[in-house]
């Protein structure tokens, strides 16, 4: 009995770290930085992120090779070196847009001309030119990965060809560092909040096989330039519509895209509408166009300054998981600290790989990024606390089971055949099934006589 008890103790010691490691997957804290923006690279608090994505490289309409705008080359060449000063382990990626001159509004909300990428996808030679130049440019500027930001495929053929591109891209990325000491480049892609729209569906099998992760652009569902009612542009839930992040994430998971490769987008911006009636001012209230800015878009930093200037009350709607405020006829919807925390908790609950923000320098003194990290840490502390509580309980059960089995054997030897006692397969089963709000353990141990 003593030797078997020792074996059980050793088993417990072995499985304890296994339970911890199985729930301690790497958590992605990614974010975009816009080279054509106004925020200097040194202002980025890279310590709050695991991955930073520098955008955007364009694609030549003639050669289908990557183009770095000449005015931005100095930023691309220094990006990795600068952000590593605060975080030496940061991973940087180069993001590729659709090859057209871009504006922030075009990237976020408008369907723009994406014929360059569509044309590139059609021909094997064009795809090869694109892939080769993307690897060369990423290496030249010191990036550790490549990101494709293309949300507007126009046809089913685009989706089929996108799958071909990813197959060829991954093969090239895998073979590229064979003769060097360099690690393989990462390959990621931005995707719509749902895997299927219209008659089109993303090439999910190719994406699963070839991407390190896909990040869901879970924002810009509603825009004041397009809709005459106020909208929760990054709603986690929506009781009246399928246009929300939870619905989209569940669709991706239901289509067999692994949660371990899915990253949820978080917006560090919001939108302002002009109310048609100041007394009707909830989500979905009638509106008369944009407010505050030309297109209604506002960075989180600007929103916080604006609301402080007017001493406006910021409200939180838990049904949608959004914040909003009303200043006169101006209605501004955005994600504040409460919404960000709730979304991180949701991503953890769904066992997603992490989150990706657009764009990092829209934060206000890094309040949103700190909130995201605090919620992540709080989730980890709960998990560790449950481990500390439940694993010793399991050990106690194992020891009690060992003692009971030992006493039963001694009793059987003493009483012999006078005792009518049946043991299934001469084994003793200890099973412990523990449910918690954010974790799930199942311990099963067979004690063989």
Across the chain, mean pLDDT equals 84
**pTM of the model as a whole:** 0.80
- Tell me the C-alpha distance between 384 and 390, whole Å: 10
Instruction: With a cut of 70, say whether residue 380 has pLDDT above it.
Output: no
Write the pLDDT tens digit of every residue in 52-106: 999 999 999 999 999 998 999 999 999 999 999 999 999 999 999 874 433 334 4
Write the pLDDT tens digit of every residue in 143-198: 999 999 998 888 999 999 999 999 999 999 999 977 677 899 999 999 999 999 98
- Tell me the C-alpha distance between 100 and 58, whole Å: 7
**pLDDT band at 415, cuts 50/70/90?**
low
Highest mean pLDDT among 30-44, 199-213, 382-396, 403-417: 199-213
Quote the pLDDT of residue 230: 98
Quote the pLDDT of residue 4: 52
Q: Structure tokens of 51?
A: 């991955």
Whose CA is closest to 202, among 192, 211, 210, 212? 192
- Residues 6 or more apart whose Cβ sits within 8 Å of residue 273: 224, 229, 230, 231, 287, 288, 289, 290, 291, 296, 330, 331, 332, 333
Quote the pLDDT of residue 393: 56
CB 31 within 8 A of CB 54: no
User: Comparing 18 with 393, which gets the higher pLDDT?
Assistant: 393
Quote the pLDDT of residue 34: 93
Write the pLDDT tens digit of every residue in 30-47: 999 999 888 899 999 999
- Tell me the C-alpha distance between 228 and 226, whole Å: 7
Instruction: With a cut of 80, say whether residue 384 has pLDDT above it.
Output: no
CB 92 within 8 A of CB 51: yes
Quote the pLDDT of residue 385: 43
Quote the pLDDT of residue 25: 55
What residues pair up with 32 in beta bridges, in sequence order?
A: 53
- Tell me the C-alpha distance between 11 and 410, whole Å: 25
Kindly state the average pLDDT of the residues 383-391. Answer: 47
Highest mean pLDDT among 27-41, 104-118, 265-279, 386-400: 265-279
Q: Domain 25-267+338-380: which topology?
A: TIM Barrel (3.20.20)
CB 428 within 8 A of CB 401: yes
Quote the pLDDT of residue 52: 98
Question: Comparing 176-185, 214-223, 325-334, 341-350, which segment has the lowest mean pLDDT?
Answer: 176-185
Domain segments of the chain as ranges: 2-14+385-448, 25-267+338-380
User: Comparing 345 with 401, which gets the higher pLDDT?
Assistant: 345
Helices (H) and strands (E) in the chain — how many of each? 11, 19
The tokens 């605060």 sit on which residue? 86
> For residue 167, with 0-12 CB atoms within 10 Å meaning exposed, 13-18 middle and 19 or more buried, which class applies?
middle
């Amino acid at each position: 009995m003593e030797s078997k008890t020792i074996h059980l103790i050793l088993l417990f010691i072995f499985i304890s770290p296994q339970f911890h490691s199985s729930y301690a997957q790497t958590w992605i804290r990614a974010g975009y930085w816009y080279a054509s923006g106004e925020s200097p690279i040194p202002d980025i608090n890279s310590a709050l992120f695991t991955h930073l994505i520098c955008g955007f490289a364009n694609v030549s309409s003639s050669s289908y090779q990557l183009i770095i705008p000449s005015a931005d080359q100095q930023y691309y060449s220094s990006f990795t070196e600068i952000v590593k000063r605060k975080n030496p382990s940061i991973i940087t990626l180069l993001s590729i847009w659709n090859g057209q001159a871009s504006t922030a509004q075009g990237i976020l909300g408008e369907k723009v001309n994406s014929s360059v990428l569509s044309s590139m996808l059609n021909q094997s030679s064009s795809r090869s030119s694109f892939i080769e130049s993307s690897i060369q440019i990423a290496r030249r500027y010191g990036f550790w990965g490549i990101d494709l930001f293309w949300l507007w495929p126009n046809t089913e053929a685009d989706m089929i060809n996108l799958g071909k591109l990813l197959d060829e891209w991954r093969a090239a990325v895998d073979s590229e560092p064979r003769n060097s000491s360099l690690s393989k480049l990462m390959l990621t892609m931005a995707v719509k909040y749902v895997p299927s729209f219209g008659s089109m569906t993303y090439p999910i099998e190719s994406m699963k096989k070839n991407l390190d992760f896909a990040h869901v652009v879970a924002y810009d569902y509603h825009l004041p330039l397009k809709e005459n009612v106020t909208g929760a542009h990054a709603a986690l839930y929506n009781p009246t519509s399928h246009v929300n992040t939870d619905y989209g994430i569940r669709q991706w998971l239901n289509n067999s895209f692994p949660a371990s490769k899915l990253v949820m987008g978080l917006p560090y911006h919001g939108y302002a509408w002009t109310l048609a009636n100041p007394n009707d001012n909830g989500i979905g209230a009638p509106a008369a166009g944009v407010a505050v800015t030309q297109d209604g878009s506002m960075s989180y930093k600007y929103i916080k300054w604006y609301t402080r200037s007017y001493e406006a009350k910021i409200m939180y709607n838990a049904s949608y998981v959004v914040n909003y405020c009303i200043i006169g006829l101006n209605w501004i919807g955005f994600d504040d600290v409460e919404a960000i925390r709730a979304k991180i908790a949701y991503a953890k609950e769904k066992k997603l790989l992490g989150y990706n923000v657009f764009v990092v320098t829209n934060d206000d003194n890094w309040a949103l990024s700190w909130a995201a990290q605090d919620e992540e840490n709080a989730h980890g502390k709960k998990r560790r606390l449950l481990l500390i509580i439940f694993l010793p309980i399991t050990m106690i059960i194992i020891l009690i089971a060992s003692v009971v089995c030992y006493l039963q054997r001694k009793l059987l030897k003493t009483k012999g055949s006078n005792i009518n006692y049946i043991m299934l397969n001469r084994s003793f089963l200890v099973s412990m099934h523990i449910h918690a709000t954010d974790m799930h353990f199942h311990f099963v141990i067979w004690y063989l006589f």
